[in-house]
């Protein structure tokens, strides 16, 4: 069985204006020969103007989601200009730029609209026990311990907005006051109890007492245990029989996971680090996942459903443990591809191939950023210990449209190399550029390593993981080009946690679905065939030693791992439906079912056809790569915008 390659005519990419990217392409092509034209894939995935507006803010790593308040200071005219976004994406990446060049199926490609509406892409988390997370219950669990009372409904309304503001400032140590006094207007024991309960419930870390002042009664709120109390909610008010963590299902629409947690923490007036989860989920989608939070009652969480936009909380339970990243078994996807052009036969072939063969387990485009400076280039500079280049790649002017303040910041940096002057041009201080400039201001231009260290650890590691992904994508394309879709002697398979080579006499015992490829790093082995040498050649071209991936800064040492070449999705189902109205939903969500919304009524003979598909994937695999295999299309935003310029005018 041979791998089918991308159509190099319709998906041919223009020359990049970024010199570094061009050099990368030349080096890469020395190792991975240019693919010949294979399938008749025709067009790319179509993307409408509305999608481009949404994904602009979602995909550009310069504008971090948590900075919504500061983003308002930016140039709003540019934010909403799809032509500016299309211009920026002319300098972005295509799939071939990051080694994504092969297909495994032989069917003819066809076009369809991916994520025309965010509700066309639904993700349900699969827990480590194999259970798929669903939002199907808003009820609050009842405690066995009768001495503990959850806050009553009145608790949430007894305090005025002014009281809440003063209490929040006290809780967060934002004023010089040692306490806040709240006058009890209706002086009854019941009323005082509710106010006491409201303060303690809504503002963890604060204690209360009652005082008489000039013949009036006041509730006095004060700090019980200093600043530590804010991070560690009061223990004495939590029943011993109740698990310390409230687990719940988070249903969210068009928001990423950290955005949602930041919003929850603000409403609850707690720090985001008391929340835990097993994996982050896409923004432009409807997603359902499990979250755990330390010592916040289900009742308080349930109350938020009345005031939250675009997400709901439910399926509450108390447990003794938090959640950990990576604990999930995978995700179940429900995807609608609208306005498809494929024949019934083409669709059947594509979906049968996805179910029986699978797709190449490439790292998807979101791994590499969308601007003219890909994240893997910064990762490579970190691994090379070339800190001047790291700084330059992050801060230098780059081709393509960006928000006005970023353009001005980069221009100032190029002109003066003065961190203070460049920072003044940047109202969004928590973006990567702002964090690095603050670091340079603090530690000086001769200590770039420490300045770079101000950027959050996960963001820093994202760069080197992007480089690993870049190498892996190129090597897996080379492996399939050289040996096709069969196991060969010298390939690697996993036996438990250990990788071993397939020997000549054992090759018939394995299929391509057993074969793994290493992510470059220490403590891994490489294949005993041409691909092992190709790994070395690629890293030598990047001035790196494949046998010494330990960095003098421990955080940047690349620990190796193994990744399956081909992923075969589970629970694959599909259906072709007709529709007339592009705005009508084509299936019901968890929230629709809870609210009793009926199934959409679809015409038998509509103007358009859509492919509804479902499948389950393990962690760290990309649904977009499965969809790419079905459609035979380049999934990069650059390709989509280039092929849809008339939609943007």
So which residues are the catalytic ones? 282
Q: How far apart are the first and last CA of the chain?
A: 44
Residue-wise burial string across 184-206, b where 16 or more C-beta atoms lie within 10 A, e elsewhere: eeeeeeebbebbbbbbbbbbbbb
Spatial CB neighbours of 372, under 8 Å, sequence gap ≥ 6: 16, 17, 18, 21, 91, 92, 398, 399, 400
State whether residue 79 is helix, strand or coil: helix
| Alpha-carbon distances, residue 493 vs 32, 61, 237, 499 (angstroms) | 23, 35, 53, 6
Rounded Cα distance, 21 and 636, in Å: 16
Spatial CB neighbours of 286, under 8 Å, sequence gap ≥ 6: 118, 119, 121, 122, 123, 251, 252, 253, 254, 589
Going by their DSSP bridges, the two strands 245-253 and 311-319 should be labelled as antiparallel
CA-nearest of 89, 91, 103, 94 to 2 is 103
Q: DSSP characters for 557-575? A: --B-EEEESEE--EEEEEE
Rounded Cα distance, 617 and 598, in Å: 29
Q: What angle do CA 329, 335, 337 make, to 5 degrees?
A: 150
Cβ atoms 610, 339 nearer than 8 A: yes
Radius of gyration, alpha carbons of the chain: 27
Rounded Cα distance, 606 and 614, in Å: 22
State whether residue 453 is helix, strand or coil: coil
Spatial CB neighbours of 20, under 8 Å, sequence gap ≥ 6: 373, 377, 393
Give me 575's structure tokens. 């259906």
What is the 3 state secondary structure string of 474-520? HHHHHHHHHHCCCCCCCCEEEECCEEEECCHHHHHHCCHHHEEEEEC
């Amino acid at each position: 069985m041979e791998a089918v390659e991308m159509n190099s005519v319709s998906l041919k990419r223009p020359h990049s204006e970024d010199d570094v990217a061009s050099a990368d392409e030349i080096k890469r092509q020395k190792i991975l020969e240019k693919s010949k034209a294979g399938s008749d894939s025709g067009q790319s995935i179509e993307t409408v103007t509305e999608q481009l507006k949404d994904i602009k803010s979602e995909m550009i790593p310069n504008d971090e989601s948590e900075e919504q308040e500061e983003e308002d200071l930016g140039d709003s005219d540019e934010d909403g200009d799809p032509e500016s976004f299309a211009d920026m994406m002319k300098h972005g990446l295509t799939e071939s730029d990051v080694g994504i060049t092969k297909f495994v199926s032989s069917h003819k490609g066809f076009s369809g609209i991916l994520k025309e509406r965010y509700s066309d892409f639904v993700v349900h988390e699969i827990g480590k026990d194999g259970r798929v997370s669903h939002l199907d219950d808003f009820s609050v669990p009842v405690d066995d311990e009768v001495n503990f009372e959850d806050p009553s409904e009145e608790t949430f309304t007894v305090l005025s907005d002014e009281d809440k503001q003063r209490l929040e400032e006290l809780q967060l140590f934002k004023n010089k006051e040692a306490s806040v006094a709240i006058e009890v207007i209706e002086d009854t024991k019941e009323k005082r109890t509710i106010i006491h309960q409201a303060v303690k419930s809504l503002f963890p870390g604060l204690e209360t007492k009652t005082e008489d002042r000039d013949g009036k009664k006041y509730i006095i709120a004060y700090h019980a245990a200093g600043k530590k109390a804010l991070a560690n909610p009061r223990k004495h008010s939590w029943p011993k029989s109740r698990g310390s963590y409230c687990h719940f299902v988070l249903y969210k629409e068009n928001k990423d996971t950290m955005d949602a947690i930041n919003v929850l923490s603000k409403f609850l007036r707690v720090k985001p680090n008391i929340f835990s989860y097993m994996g982050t989920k896409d923004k432009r989608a409807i997603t359902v996942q499990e979250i755990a939070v330390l010592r916040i009652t289900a009742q308080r969480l349930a109350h938020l459903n009345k005031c939250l936009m675009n997400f709901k909380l439910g399926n509450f339970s108390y447990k003794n443990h938090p959640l950990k990243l990576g604990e999930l078994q995978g995700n179940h996807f429900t995807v609608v591809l609208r306005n498809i052009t494929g024949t019934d036969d083409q669709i059947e072939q594509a979906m049968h191939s996805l179910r029986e063969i699978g797709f190449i387990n490439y790292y998807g485009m979101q791994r590499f950023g969308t601007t003219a400076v890909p994240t893997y280039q910064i990762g490579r500079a970190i691994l090379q210990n070339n800190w001047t280049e790291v700084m330059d790649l992050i801060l230098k002017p780059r081709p393509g449209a960006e928000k006005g303040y970023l353009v001005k910041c980069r221009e100032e940096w190029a002109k003066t190399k003065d961190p203070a002057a460049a920072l003044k041009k940047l109202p969004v201080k928590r973006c990567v550029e702002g964090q690095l400039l603050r670091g340079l201001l603090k530690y000086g231009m001769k200590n770039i390593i420490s300045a770079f260290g101000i950027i959050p650890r996960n963001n820093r590691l994202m760069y080197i993981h992007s480089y690993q992904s870049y190498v892996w994508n190129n090597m897996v394309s080379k492996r399939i080009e050289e040996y096709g879709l069969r196991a060969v002697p010298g390939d690697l398979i996993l036996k438990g946690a250990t990788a071993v080579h397939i020997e000549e006499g054992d090759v018939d015992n394995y299929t391509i679905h057993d074969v793994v490829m290493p992510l470059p790093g220490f403590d891994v082995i490489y294949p005993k065939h041409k691909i092992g040498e190709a790994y070395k050649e690629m890293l030598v071209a990047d001035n790196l030693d494949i046998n010494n991936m330990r960095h003098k800064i421990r955080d940047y040492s690349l620990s190796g791992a193994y990744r399956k070449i081909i992923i075969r999705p589970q629970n694959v189902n599909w259906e072709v439906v007709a529709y007339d109205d592009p705005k009508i939903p084509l299936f019901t969500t968890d929230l629709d079912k809870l609210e009793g919304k009926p199934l959409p009524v679809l015409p038998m003979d509509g103007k358009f056809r859509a492919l509804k598909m479902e499948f389950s994937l393990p962690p760290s695999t990309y649904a977009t790569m499965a969809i790419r295999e079905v459609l035979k299309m380049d999934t990069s935003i650059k390709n989509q915008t280039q092929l849809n310029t008339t939609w943007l005018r």
